[in-house]
Amino acid sequence: MGLPCGGTVSRNVVLVTYDSLRADHCGFMGYERDTTPTLDRLAHDGVVFENAVASGVPTIASMTAVMTGNYSLASPEIGFDEAQCKQVTQRPTIAEVVSEAGYATGGLSPNPPASSYFGFDEGFDWFEDFLAADRGVLERAWNRVFERSIAGGSATRYLRLARNVVRREEVLRPWEDYYDHITEWREAVEEPYFLWILVLEPHHPWVPPSSSQRWSSRWDKYRSFRHYWEMLNSGWEPEFDGTVRERMIDLYDDSIRHGDSFLEQLWTDLQADEPVFIVHSDHGEEFSENGRYGHQPDVTEELIHVPLVVWGLEESWRVETPVGLRELAPTIAELTGSPCPFAGRDLLSLDDDTRPWVVSKVFVGGKRRAAVRTATHEFRRRNGRTELVDVTSGSCESIGNESAAAFATALDRHVAAEREKEAVRSGGERLIVEGRV
């Protein structure tokens, strides 16, 4: 079914990316807590994709797919690697495409894995990531934050981490700190525009302001410093009991609520522009379901099932067909009337014959973990095992049945197509160009 988009191809488009927001912790997806009141309102009047799937995990892999329409092929272990940058810079990005079509383009990301260092500023007239312009300074800052502040077990490092969490120093910035940057940019540009904002809430560590605390307490926040330290030192596999787990979930839900207040403010302030809002998460979060906390690169249901809502069209409906986040690029190109160099489907024009599954994949240590996701099942290969999971119940099923065989065939075809990608040389480095799969 095609979508009427207000009779114009020059709609303003606002892309809001939440970091680490699970689909099953959103009210419009059936969660019992009122974590996402604003997003719920947009979902009520918009298009809800009930089975949206992150194309990769963590942020750098997922957002590469969102911005380029292609899977990320580099290893998701984040580092200062030119190959990571080329995943974005040597492919067309949605910002470049709409900019060439005459759009003003603005972007803001307080998360380093989705920063200018890795090429995410490509195509944006204005891009803010709060990182030093000098790469040497940036590398030293990165090492200081992500290595020295969390390595080892000294009390000094623990206290420093706690201080950074409380003050939101170095890389952690709540949305209130940068909101004025967004409105100032909007006031300075002409329509039409494309605006992308990555909202860190509810990324760990979960330290919601008191104004957003409905389920957690002040003492929970204080305790969370120790719990976060334990997660880091255990490789994200701490031995928390049920009480601590529930405490972490309470903080997480309050952080979601805090992030939702950003959407409320932005939605209110941009109403006069009649934009199309596209709201999604880059990936989910684990709370011991697979023996881990956080979002280490993997393809489990808790990590790849994400919320996705489009608001601002003439109609509203819910889509059960599985869709991948990498298909946002062709969707935005279609919304803006821009030429579309991206593989994938326009998510606002799906029909009854559309493909009933999508693929999510990550690379860890050079090895692929991949999953085929349908509306009811996830078939995945990870850690040398093949698993078939009923996503409606969370139960594992026999991999010897017909459904598993069909999923295996789909995944094998996807991998075979990937291996037939055209390899080209650019600047002495190998770049993989993906075809349609």
| Helix residue ranges per DSSP H, 114-217 | 135-143, 155-167, 179-188
Domain assignment present for 165 = no
Q: How far is 108 from 150, CA to CA, in rounded Å?
A: 26
Q: Considering the domain boundaries, does residue 138 fall inside one? A: no
Q: Does 302 fall in a domain?
A: yes
Decide if 226 is inside a domain: yes
Phi, psi angle pair for 234, to nearest 5°: -100, 10
Query: CA torsion, points 110, 304, 264, 185, in degrees to nearest 10?
Result: 40
Give residue 132's pLDDT. 55
Q: Which helix (H) or strand (E) holds 379?
A: strand 377-382
The predicted pLDDT at position 418 comes to 65
d(CA 362, CA 360): 7
Distance, CA of 127 to CA of 396 (rounded, Å): 44
- Give the CATH number for residue 319: 3.40.720.10
In a domain, residue 334? The reply is yes
Residues near 28 by Cβ (< 8 Å), separated by ≥ 6?
36, 39, 40, 43, 44, 48, 307, 309
Q: Does 41 reside within a domain?
A: yes
For the chain, 437 residues long, give each residue's pLDDT as a single digit of tens. 344 333 346 899 999 999 999 999 999 999 999 999 999 999 999 999 999 999 999 999 999 999 999 888 655 454 546 667 777 888 899 999 999 999 999 999 998 888 888 899 999 999 998 875 555 545 544 444 444 333 334 444 444 444 444 444 444 678 999 999 999 999 999 999 999 999 999 998 888 888 899 999 988 988 888 888 888 888 888 989 999 999 999 999 999 999 999 999 999 999 999 999 999 999 999 998 988 998 988 999 999 999 999 999 999 999 999 999 999 999 999 999 999 999 889 999 987 667 889 999 887 766 778 899 999 989 988 777 888 888 888 777 766 667 777 888 888 887 777 665 534 323 433 333 333 33
Residue 194 maps to a domain: yes
The count of residues in the chain is 437
Residue 298: inside a domain:
yes
Q: Tell which residue, 339, 350, 338, has the closest CA to residue 13.
A: 338
- What is the count of structural domains for the chain? 1
For residue 311, the enclosing domain spans 13-130+173-355
